[in-house]
A = this chain, B = another copy of it.
């Protein structure tokens, strides 16, 4: 079998581990040929591929990023590509394609699959927002990095009687903020799923100081938003909520808290450190297992499916199930977290 593999979407620790695993399983156990597609679906459209050997994947297990690259595709080109999916497969010369990516990639993979391209998907997301799998690789590393940062911030916050606001990734879901906040022992956790009231946040902090505590840590997802009309002050430039501007929620919230409670507050924006670098052991293992099962799925003809973790086992699930809805933080996880805030 000639097996294509591509990585698409944002960077995520563990992508290389999947690629390595696909290559090992396919070549060593199935005597397949493996073709790496460069820069995601763009490379598929432009027929930019290269053969992948065991040597090519030597040493990449522990490395962040993706040796295949990743890029965005304009919508028009993607639509066109989907409509001629089978020809595409012939041009590139593949019998089956392993597409590794997040929600957007899964949606694209599904369209390709519907159009007749034999696609198997491997879900990746640091945000943990993909439904139908207990978790995917990348998230554990992001939480690990964020937790280390919170651990460090605690002592400096305490020594200086400060509030520290840590802005973490998560535009639509709050999993990183929830898990890193719980792991780091944050005193406030703000997530997109629950619009926050700034007064409640500030009162919580004031109460802590009133009880003799000398500091507070607030973990805030970049997508967390105040309930309308609750921010007292104006902050930042024109593009208030955008990611690239200087006025992200971390900066704005920190300034707001400082003015409100009259104590020093400092923002920390961890940014892309959360999605780069060597994956945690857990993410390496999960990514390696996913790679193995993606090859199996291709050989079994389970196209249109993706690998999913369910109670410790890897099973194939229809991609359609995974993209049907975003996996948000449920009430049950929230009330567990609230008890230790």
Contact = CB atoms under 8 A, between A and B. Distances in A.
Interface of A: 10-11, 13, 15, 20-21, 24-25, 28-29, 61-66, 69-71, 134-135, 140, 143-147, 149, 151-161, 164, 179-180, 182-185, 214, 235-237, 244-248, 251, 255, 266-273, 275-278, 280-282, 284-285, 288-289, 292-293, 310-314, 332, 336, 339-340
A146 B258 CA distance: 26
A298 to B, nearest CB: 14
Given A160-B70, A182-B288, A336-B292, A280 B277 contact: no
A335 B280 CA distance: 22
A339 to B, nearest CB: 4
* Chain multiplicity (copies): 4
Contacts of A147: 281, 284
Interface centre among A66, A71, A246 (most CB of B within 10 A): A246
Contacts of A282: 140, 143-144, 179, 183, 282
A78 B293 CA distance: 47
A259 to B, nearest CB: 11
Contacts of A63: 155
Contact of A180 (B151, B152, B281): B281
Contact of A246 (B164, B247, B288): B247
A271 B277 contact: no
Contacts of A289: 336
A252 B257 CA distance: 24
A6 B258 CA distance: 27
